Amino acid sequence: MTDRKSVSYTFERPEDFEHSNQPAIDIVVDDTGAKHWMSNRAMPPTSYPPPLTPDAIEKLKNMKGVIVREVSQQD
């Protein structure tokens, strides 16, 4: 079983959001099956998808203009 990690992702500029948001959504949906997750209303927004596999995280990190941050889990 693959270890999933909680991450957030945002975009460097609003233009990056316009070009990369749908591909980022597709990566998350393909990895998790989820269709909805939290995002704030900033421009560009920060999104908090369900925990992702390392492969999906790497795909997001490799996208131009996408910033991925690990979310620490506090017990």
Residue 7 lies in a domain: no
pLDDT tens, the chain, 75 aa long: 569 999 999 999 999 999 999 999 999 999 999 999 999 999 999 999 999 999 999 999 999 999 999 998 665
Q: Please tell me the distance from the alpha carbon of residue 66 to that of residue 45, in angstroms, as a whole number.
A: 11
For residue 41, the model assigns a pLDDT of 95
Q: Is residue 3 part of a domain?
A: no
For residue 24, being part of any structural domain is answered with: yes
User: What is the torsional sign of CA 26, 47, 71, 15?
Assistant: positive
The whole-number pLDDT of residue 72 equals 82
pLDDT score of 74: 65
Domain count, the chain: 1
